[in-house]
Amino acid sequence: MPNNQTRRLSHGAMMIALFAIFIAIAFYVPIISLVASLFAPLPLAWYSAKYDRKSSLLVASIGCVISFFFGGLLIIPFAMMFAAIGVVIGDALRLKRSKVFLLMSTGITSLVTFAIEYLIALKLFEIDIIKDFMTIARESYQRSIELSQNFTNQTPIDEQMLSRMFDTMEILIPATITISIFFISFIMISINLPMLKRLGINVPKFHAFKNMRLPRAVLWYYLIVLTINLFISPESGTALYVICLNFSLVLWLLLTLQGISLVYFVLDAYGSPPFLKVLAALMAIPLYSFFVLIGILDLGFDIRSIVKGKIQK
């Protein structure tokens, strides 16, 4: 028992030190900050995978406190985000959860942490990072338009269209942030799990992308949003309009991925060359409506069984 307690304390101290170093590098060193950010959850993920949740939360809290001495209050939100991600990843690995559960829990934790930190910054410090970012983006785009007009004597986009474009971007901020956070979470998991495996932690695997199948509830959500848009037609700027537009963006992306997955399945079933998969993924960008339709058909009907049956014949 004393040996286990000593090992736990020594491992905790080492992981706290490594976490603080990663956070400091990610916060201060511009060139390698991205790499350090991706690996920042690794020490706490390893510790959480080996020890109980209570000890992991204590180590994560101390890691955030130690990070405070490197960068003051500004570094605390940064450290808390990666500490939460590390604890969730490690806890899911300790409980032997699937990789899909790992992705969902990491994404939701990151989203909730970001939302809490955003509200704290907005209410206590009156700092709206989203509004500031949109203001900078709008000013930058206007400067680029003026520069283009000076060179070509033509206006590439009028003020009214520019205003509508940025209004739509502001409405889609919730969906954009959600998609971005889950994408970053996927990258973090894909990078850190092989490292954790090398460190002696058992890690799950994703099923092949060609076998991806979303819950059928996604199809019902899409049909509900589509029905609201067709028969109710919410007015621009209303709460229902904002909700439907954000849900539509997320559902379009999910159904596009489902469509690409079906195409990959068919290509593999017929033994097609690998470059066709790359071509299909590239074609999904301009032809996303077609891939959304394929995704809907894949969720609504058992197309894969039909393909298997034809191949067996």
**Model pTM score:** 0.88
In this structure, of 86-95, 141-150, 295-304, the range with the lowest mean pLDDT score is 141-150
Nearest by Cα to 22 from 201, 195, 204, 197: 195
Handedness of CA 132, 130, 86, 67 (dihedral sign): positive
Nearest by Cα to 98 from 207, 245, 14, 7: 207
Strands (E), 42-119: none
**Residue 295 Cα distances to 44, 114, 257, 290, angstroms:** 38, 31, 7, 9
Handedness of CA 78, 79, 82, 85 (dihedral sign): negative
Cα–chain center distance at 249: 14
In this structure, of 133-137, 222-226, 249-253, the range with the lowest mean pLDDT score is 133-137
Does residue 253 have a pLDDT over 80?
Answer: yes
Q: List the Cα angle 109/105/16 in 5-degree steps.
A: 60
Nearest by Cα to 113 from 85, 71, 74: 85
Q: In the structure, what pLDDT confidence band is assigned to residue 198 with cuts at 50, 70 and 90? A: very high
Q: In the structure, what pLDDT confidence band is assigned to residue 1 with cuts at 50, 70 and 90? A: very low
Give the integer Cα–Cα distance in Å for 127 and 77: 13
Does residue 154 have a pLDDT over 70?
Answer: no
Does residue 85 have a pLDDT over 90?
Answer: yes
Contact 307, 265 (CB under 8 A): yes
Beta carbons within 10 angstroms of residue 268's beta carbon: 15
Q: Which residue has the tokens 């996604």?
A: 218
